[in-house]
Protein backbone atom coordinates (compact mmCIF):
# COMPACT_ATOMS: atom_id res chain seq x y z
CA UNK A 1 0.00 0.00 0.00
CA UNK A 2 1.45 3.43 -0.91
CA UNK A 3 2.41 5.56 2.09
CA UNK A 4 2.02 8.94 0.39
CA UNK A 5 1.13 10.63 -2.88
CA UNK A 6 2.86 13.46 -4.72
CA UNK A 7 0.56 16.42 -5.35
CA UNK A 8 1.50 18.33 -8.49
CA UNK A 9 -0.31 21.54 -7.57
CA UNK A 10 0.45 24.80 -5.80
CA UNK A 11 -3.16 25.19 -4.69
CA UNK A 12 -3.50 25.32 -0.88
CA UNK A 13 -7.14 24.29 -1.29
CA UNK A 14 -6.16 20.98 -2.89
CA UNK A 15 -3.74 20.33 -0.04
CA UNK A 16 -6.49 21.02 2.48
CA UNK A 17 -8.88 18.65 0.73
CA UNK A 18 -6.31 15.83 0.74
CA UNK A 19 -5.67 16.48 4.42
CA UNK A 20 -9.42 16.35 5.01
CA UNK A 21 -9.51 12.69 3.95
CA UNK A 22 -6.26 11.83 5.71
CA UNK A 23 -4.00 11.40 2.67
CA UNK A 24 -0.30 12.00 3.35
CA UNK A 25 1.16 13.98 0.47
CA UNK A 26 4.25 15.80 -0.69
CA UNK A 27 4.34 18.69 -3.13
CA UNK A 28 5.86 18.12 -6.56
CA UNK A 29 5.85 21.54 -8.17
CA UNK A 30 8.15 23.55 -10.42
CA UNK A 31 10.92 25.53 -8.71
CA UNK A 32 12.99 28.49 -9.88
CA UNK A 33 16.18 26.40 -9.94
CA UNK A 34 14.45 23.56 -11.79
CA UNK A 35 13.59 24.91 -15.26
CA UNK A 36 10.65 23.17 -16.87
CA UNK A 37 10.90 22.00 -20.50
CA UNK A 38 7.62 23.83 -21.16
CA UNK A 39 6.17 26.99 -19.64
CA UNK A 40 3.38 25.88 -17.25
CA UNK A 41 1.21 28.76 -18.44
CA UNK A 42 1.55 27.54 -22.04
CA UNK A 43 -0.06 24.26 -21.02
CA UNK A 44 -3.28 26.13 -20.26
CA UNK A 45 -3.77 27.65 -23.71
CA UNK A 46 -7.13 26.72 -25.23
CA UNK A 47 -7.04 25.07 -28.66
CA UNK A 48 -9.34 26.20 -31.45
CA UNK A 49 -12.89 24.80 -31.10
CA UNK A 50 -11.89 22.83 -28.01
CA UNK A 51 -14.72 21.97 -25.64
CA UNK A 52 -14.38 22.65 -21.92
CA UNK A 53 -14.41 18.89 -21.21
CA UNK A 54 -11.66 18.15 -23.72
CA UNK A 55 -9.69 21.17 -22.55
CA UNK A 56 -9.63 20.40 -18.83
CA UNK A 57 -8.84 16.71 -19.38
CA UNK A 58 -6.05 17.51 -21.86
CA UNK A 59 -4.46 20.13 -19.60
CA UNK A 60 -4.60 17.80 -16.59
CA UNK A 61 -2.87 15.06 -18.57
CA UNK A 62 -0.15 17.45 -19.74
CA UNK A 63 0.42 18.70 -16.21
CA UNK A 64 0.69 15.13 -14.97
CA UNK A 65 3.22 14.32 -17.71
CA UNK A 66 5.28 17.34 -16.63
CA UNK A 67 5.11 16.25 -12.99
CA UNK A 68 6.27 12.72 -13.82
CA UNK A 69 9.23 14.14 -15.75
CA UNK A 70 9.98 16.37 -12.75
CA UNK A 71 9.91 13.36 -10.43
CA UNK A 72 12.36 11.44 -12.60
CA UNK A 73 14.63 14.44 -13.12
CA UNK A 74 14.94 15.04 -9.38
CA UNK A 75 15.52 11.38 -8.57
CA UNK A 76 12.88 11.38 -5.84
CA UNK A 77 11.33 8.34 -4.18
CA UNK A 78 8.80 6.59 -6.37
CA UNK A 79 5.16 7.15 -5.38
CA UNK A 80 1.83 7.85 -7.09
CA UNK A 81 1.45 11.34 -8.57
CA UNK A 82 -1.84 13.25 -8.39
CA UNK A 83 -2.74 16.17 -10.63
CA UNK A 84 -5.90 18.22 -11.09
CA UNK A 85 -7.12 21.16 -13.13
CA UNK A 86 -10.29 23.24 -12.94
CA UNK A 87 -12.00 25.37 -15.56
CA UNK A 88 -15.19 27.39 -15.76
CA UNK A 89 -17.48 27.19 -18.78
CA UNK A 90 -20.18 29.70 -19.65
CA UNK A 91 -21.95 28.18 -22.61
CA UNK A 92 -19.14 27.30 -25.00
CA UNK A 93 -16.83 29.97 -23.59
CA UNK A 94 -13.97 28.76 -21.39
CA UNK A 95 -13.09 31.14 -18.56
CA UNK A 96 -9.59 30.57 -17.25
CA UNK A 97 -7.65 32.62 -14.70
CA UNK A 98 -7.95 36.39 -15.13
CA UNK A 99 -4.80 38.08 -16.37
CA UNK A 100 -5.63 41.50 -14.92
CA UNK A 101 -8.20 43.01 -12.52
CA UNK A 102 -10.08 44.38 -15.54
CA UNK A 103 -10.16 40.88 -17.02
CA UNK A 104 -11.58 39.63 -13.71
CA UNK A 105 -14.31 42.30 -13.87
CA UNK A 106 -15.26 41.19 -17.37
CA UNK A 107 -15.55 37.56 -16.25
CA UNK A 108 -17.67 38.41 -13.23
CA UNK A 109 -19.94 40.63 -15.34
CA UNK A 110 -20.44 37.68 -17.70
CA UNK A 111 -21.23 35.30 -14.81
CA UNK A 112 -23.55 37.72 -12.99
CA UNK A 113 -27.13 36.42 -12.86
CA UNK A 114 -26.31 33.32 -14.91
CA UNK A 115 -25.61 29.62 -14.40
CA UNK A 116 -22.25 28.22 -15.48
CA UNK A 117 -20.40 24.91 -15.28
CA UNK A 118 -17.28 24.14 -13.26
CA UNK A 119 -15.26 21.19 -14.55
CA UNK A 120 -12.44 19.62 -12.56
CA UNK A 121 -10.40 16.79 -14.04
CA UNK A 122 -8.24 14.59 -11.84
CA UNK A 123 -5.47 12.24 -12.97
CA UNK A 124 -3.43 9.83 -10.88
CA UNK A 125 -0.34 8.00 -12.13
CA UNK A 126 0.47 4.87 -10.13
CA UNK A 127 3.26 2.88 -11.73
CA UNK A 128 2.26 2.32 -15.34
CA UNK A 129 -1.42 2.81 -14.60
CA UNK A 130 -3.10 6.17 -15.19
CA UNK A 131 -6.47 6.71 -13.57
CA UNK A 132 -8.66 9.67 -14.47
CA UNK A 133 -11.99 11.17 -13.49
CA UNK A 134 -14.04 14.26 -14.24
CA UNK A 135 -16.33 16.24 -11.95
CA UNK A 136 -18.91 18.58 -13.53
CA UNK A 137 -20.96 20.94 -11.38
CA UNK A 138 -23.26 23.88 -12.08
CA UNK A 139 -23.16 27.18 -10.21
CA UNK A 140 -25.84 29.88 -10.33
CA UNK A 141 -24.66 33.41 -9.62
CA UNK A 142 -27.01 36.06 -8.30
CA UNK A 143 -26.93 39.37 -10.16
CA UNK A 144 -23.96 41.54 -9.16
CA UNK A 145 -23.89 45.28 -9.74
CA UNK A 146 -20.77 47.21 -10.74
CA UNK A 147 -19.98 48.30 -7.18
CA UNK A 148 -20.19 44.73 -5.88
CA UNK A 149 -17.95 43.46 -8.67
CA UNK A 150 -15.43 46.26 -8.08
CA UNK A 151 -15.33 45.52 -4.35
CA UNK A 152 -14.79 41.82 -4.94
CA UNK A 153 -12.03 42.44 -7.48
CA UNK A 154 -10.38 44.90 -5.08
CA UNK A 155 -10.20 42.13 -2.47
CA UNK A 156 -7.71 40.33 -4.72
CA UNK A 157 -9.55 37.03 -4.37
CA UNK A 158 -10.42 36.61 -8.08
CA UNK A 159 -6.79 36.56 -9.22
CA UNK A 160 -5.34 33.12 -9.89
CA UNK A 161 -8.74 31.44 -9.89
CA UNK A 162 -10.61 29.98 -12.86
CA UNK A 163 -13.66 32.10 -13.59
CA UNK A 164 -12.30 34.87 -11.33
CA UNK A 165 -13.88 33.61 -8.12
CA UNK A 166 -13.40 31.24 -5.21
CA UNK A 167 -16.48 29.36 -4.01
CA UNK A 168 -14.99 29.03 -0.52
CA UNK A 169 -14.34 32.77 -0.17
CA UNK A 170 -16.23 36.05 -0.43
CA UNK A 171 -17.91 35.03 -3.69
CA UNK A 172 -20.14 32.70 -1.66
CA UNK A 173 -22.28 35.75 -0.88
CA UNK A 174 -23.34 35.82 -4.56
CA UNK A 175 -23.74 32.09 -5.23
CA UNK A 176 -27.46 31.35 -5.24
CA UNK A 177 -27.35 27.64 -6.06
CA UNK A 178 -24.89 24.80 -6.56
CA UNK A 179 -25.55 21.43 -8.16
CA UNK A 180 -22.74 18.90 -8.04
CA UNK A 181 -19.52 18.71 -6.01
CA UNK A 182 -18.62 21.61 -3.73
CA UNK A 183 -15.07 20.28 -3.34
CA UNK A 184 -14.89 19.84 -7.10
CA UNK A 185 -15.71 23.52 -7.51
CA UNK A 186 -12.94 24.27 -5.00
CA UNK A 187 -10.49 22.38 -7.19
CA UNK A 188 -10.39 18.73 -6.11
CA UNK A 189 -13.56 16.59 -5.99
CA UNK A 190 -13.04 14.60 -2.80
CA UNK A 191 -15.36 11.67 -3.56
CA UNK A 192 -13.95 11.05 -7.04
CA UNK A 193 -10.36 11.56 -5.88
CA UNK A 194 -10.81 9.14 -2.99
CA UNK A 195 -12.02 6.49 -5.43
CA UNK A 196 -8.93 6.97 -7.62
CA UNK A 197 -6.66 6.69 -4.58
CA UNK A 198 -8.45 3.53 -3.41
CA UNK A 199 -7.91 2.03 -6.87
CA UNK A 200 -4.19 2.79 -6.47
CA UNK A 201 -4.06 0.95 -3.14
CA UNK A 202 -4.59 3.75 -0.61
CA UNK A 203 -6.71 3.08 2.44
CA UNK A 204 -9.16 5.97 2.60
Helices (H) and strands (E) in the chain, counts: 6, 7
Q: β-strand 5-7 against 81-90: which pairing, if any?
A: parallel
Q: Tell me whether residue 54 is one of the annotated catalytic residues.
A: no
Q: Long-range contacts: 12-20, Cβ < 8 Å, 24+?
A: 13/166, 13/168, 13/186, 13/187, 13/188, 14/84, 14/187, 14/188, 17/183, 17/186, 17/187, 17/188, 17/190, 17/193, 18/82, 18/188, 18/193, 20/190
The active-site residue, picked from 24, 32, 85, 145, is 85
Q: Long-range contacts: 127-130, Cβ < 8 Å, 24+?
A: 127/80, 129/200, 130/64
3-state secondary structure at position 95: strand
Distance CA 28, CA 70 (A): 8
Active site residues: 85
Amino acid sequence: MPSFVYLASQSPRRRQLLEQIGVDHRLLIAQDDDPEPQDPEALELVLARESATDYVQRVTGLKLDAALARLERRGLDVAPVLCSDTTVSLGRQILGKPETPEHAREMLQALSGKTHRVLTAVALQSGRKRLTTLSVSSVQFAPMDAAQIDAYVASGEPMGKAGAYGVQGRAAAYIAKISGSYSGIMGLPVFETANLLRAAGFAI
